[in-house]
Structure 1
Amino acid sequence: MQITILGCGNSHGVPCINCDCFVCKSTNKKNKRKRPSIFVEYKDTKILIDTSPDLRQQCLENHIIEIDAVIYTHDHSDHVAGIDDIRRLCKDKKPIDAYIDDSTFKSLSKRYDYIFKNNSPLYYSLLKRIKLEKFQKIGDINVSAFDQIHGSIISQGIRLENIAYSTDFNEIPEKSFEKLENLDVWIVDCMRYSYAPTHSYLEKTLLLIERIKPKLAVLTHMAHEIEYEEISKILPKNVIAAYDNLKI
C-alpha cells in the first residue's frame, strides 16, 4: 500500500494569509502545507480521503487522474471545500462512490446538493453516497471507521488495512482504541506545540503514540507554529513530521 500526503496543514494552510512569521516566510518546501488530505493506492484501488480546498493543485502535483472512491472524515471546510474539483476525476460522467457518515452527509447534501443530484444532462451528479460503516471493503482495501471527538462534533478516523488516518480530534473515545491496534503507520493530528481545544497537540499526540505503539507515526494537520526541521530534531525515532507529497 502507498499513501501520499496531499496536504498536512491546518485550515489556514502554510504560509498563512497576512503572516510574516519565520515559518510562513520559510523557503523550505517542507514548510509549505496545503490543507489536509491523503491519497491511498493498493493493488487496483485508489481512494481519496477528503477533498481539501487545495484538491486541484494536489492532483496536479501528484498526477492523480482517477480515483475509485472518496471517504469523508467530517464536514469542516478544510476537508470538503474542494468537492467541485471531483468533476475532473469522474469517468464518462459517472459519479464516484463517496463513503460518508450520516451527520456529514446531512451537512454536505445541503451545502452541495448539486454534487449528489443529476439535475440535467449538462450537470450530472459527481458523487454517489454510500454510508460509511464501521467496517467495509472498498475495492481491494479493508476499511474501518472509528469515532473521534473533535470539539462539538464527531469526526471519523479511518483505518485502511494496517494504516490509520486520525486527523481532527481532541479526544479518542476508549472504544475506538481497538481500531488502532497493530498499526504499521499512524498518520495523526498534531496541530501545534501548545494546547489546542479541538485538536491534538505535540505532548498529547506523543502520549497517544506511546500508548498505541505504531511502527511509524506521521504528524499531520500542522499549523504555522511548527517548523519542519525544528520539530524533526526533537521527535522520537519512530515519529516523523509529514510534508506535502510525502509518500509512505
Structure 2
Amino acid sequence: MEITFLGTGTSQGVPVIGCTCAVCRSVDYRDKRLRVSVHLQVQGKSIIIDSGPDFRQQALRERVEHLDALVFTHEHKDHTGGLDDIRAYNFRQQQDMPIHAELRVLEQLKREYSYIFAEHKYPGIPQVEIHPILSDTDSFWVQGVEFQPIRALHYKLPVLGFRVGNFTYVTDANHLTPEALERMRGSEVIVLNALRHEKHISHFTLQEAVAILEDLAPNRAYLTHISHQLGRHHEVEAELPPFIRLAYDGLRVKL
C-alpha cells in the first residue's frame, strides 16, 4: 500500500486568507496545506478519501490519472467540495464513479449537487454510482478492498474514520470510543487529526492526539488537519515523540 497525503490542512487551509502570522508567511513548503484528503493505492486500486475544494489541484499535483472510487468521512464542505471534478475521470475512464458514504452524507450530497442526481441530467455533469455505508461496525468493500469503519465524533456530528489493512485514518474528530480505539489498535500506521494546541470544540488538540497515539503505539503515526495555529512544521515536529510526525501535502508513506 502507498498513501499520499493530498492535503493536510484545516477547513481554511494554510496560509489563511489575509493572515500574516509566522506560519502563513512561512516559505517552508511543509507549511502550505490544502484541505485534507488522502490517496490510497492498494491492491491495484486507486481510492481517495474525501474530495475537498482543492481536489482538482491535488489530483493534478500528484498525477492521479486513474481513480477507482471516492470514500467520504462526513459531509462538511472541506471534505466534499471537489465532487464535481470527478468529471475528468468519468470521461477518461468511460464509467460512473463509485462513491461510498453514510446515508446522511449521501443525502447532503444530493442537496448540494442536485444537478448530479437530477432525473433529467444536463450533458457533461459528473456520473456517480452510490454505495451507502450502512454500518459503523461492519466492514464494507471498495472495489474489492476491505474498509473497516471507525466511528468518531466531530463535536456532536458522527463521522467515520477507516482502517484498511494495517493503515488507519481518522480526521475531524474530538472523541473516540473505547471500541473505536480497539479497532485502531495494532495498526502499523495511524493518521489522526491535531488541529492546534488550545482546546477545540470539534477537533483533537496536539496534546490529545499524541496521548492517543502513545497509547495505541503504532510503528508510525502522522498528524493531519493542521491549522496555522499549531505552529511552524519544523518547530512542532522537533517536540514530538520519534514515531509521530506531522504529515504534509505530498508526503508518501509505504506499508
Shorter-chain TM-score category? over 0.9
Question: What root-mean-square deviation, in Å, do the aligned CA atoms of Structure 1 and Structure 2 show?
Answer: 1.4
Pick which of 111-120 and 75-84 moved more: 111-120
| 4+ runs deviating over 6 angstroms | none
* Partner Cα separation in structure 2 for residue 6 and residue 192 of structure 1: 20
Superposition deviation, residue 164 in structure 1: 0.7
For the structure 1 residues 118 and 217, does the alpha-carbon distance in structure 2 shift closer, same or farther, using more than 3 Å as the test? farther
* Partner Cα separation in structure 1 for residue 119 and residue 93 of structure 2: 14
* Partner Cα separation in structure 2 for residue 121 and residue 13 of structure 1: 32
* Partner Cα separation in structure 1 for residue 142 and residue 206 of structure 2: 32
The aligned counterpart of 1:234 is 239
Superposition deviation, residue 103 in structure 1: 1.3
Superposition deviation, residue 118 in structure 1: 6.2
The aligned counterpart of 2:249 is 244
Would you say the 8 A contact 1:116–1:125 is kept in 2? no
The aligned counterpart of 1:119 is 120
Mapping 1:29-178, distance limit 5 Å:
29-90=29-90, 91-117=92-118, 119-120=120-121, 122-132=123-133, 133=135, 134-178=138-182
Superposition deviation, residue 214 in structure 1: 1.1
Q: Give per-residue Cα distances to partners, 1:85-119, cap 9 Å, x unaligned.
A: 11111245421111111111121111112234463
Pick which of 11-20 and 125-134 moved more: 125-134
Would you say the 8 A contact 1:119–1:125 is kept in 2? no
The aligned counterpart of 2:11 is 11
Taking only the aligned residue pairs, the percentage that are identical comes to 29
Code of the residue aligned with 1:22 in structure 2: it is: A
Q: Give per-residue Cα distances to partners, 1:144-170, cap 9 Å, x unaligned.
A: 112100012101011111101100001
The aligned counterpart of 2:226 is 222
Q: Between Structure 1 and Structure 2, how many residues are aligned?
A: 248
The aligned counterpart of 2:26 is 26
Would you say the 8 A contact 2:16–2:24 is kept in 1? yes
Pick which of 4-13 and 130-139 moved more: 130-139
Output the TM-score relative to the length of structure 2.
0.93
Pick which of 158-167 and 86-95 moved more: 86-95
Pick which of 179-188 and 31-40 moved more: 179-188
Q: Give per-residue Cα distances to partners, 1:11-33, cap 9 Å, x unaligned.
A: 01000001000100011100000
Indicate the SS of the match to 2:210.
Answer: helix
Q: Give per-residue Cα distances to partners, 1:57-89, cap 9 Å, x unaligned.
A: 101110011111100000001100111111111
Code of the residue aligned with 1:241 in structure 2: it is: L
For the structure 1 residues 125 and 16, does the alpha-carbon distance in structure 2 shift closer, same or farther, using more than 3 Å as the test? closer
Would you say the 8 A contact 2:99–2:129 is kept in 1? yes
Would you say the 8 A contact 2:55–2:82 is kept in 1? yes
Indicate the SS of the match to 2:245.
Answer: strand
* Partner Cα separation in structure 1 for residue 10 and residue 26 of structure 2: 17
Code of the residue aligned with 1:13 in structure 2: it is: G
Superposition deviation, residue 121 in structure 1: 6.5
Q: Give per-residue Cα distances to partners, 1:161-199, cap 9 Å, x unaligned.
A: 110110000101222122202101111100011111100
Pick which of 97-106 and 111-120 moved more: 111-120
* Partner Cα separation in structure 1 for residue 165 and residue 43 of structure 2: 12
Would you say the 8 A contact 2:53–2:79 is kept in 1? yes
Code of the residue aligned with 2:219 in structure 1: it is: K
Superposition deviation, residue 5 in structure 1: 0.2
Superposition deviation, residue 242 in structure 1: 0.5
Code of the residue aligned with 1:233 in structure 2: it is: A
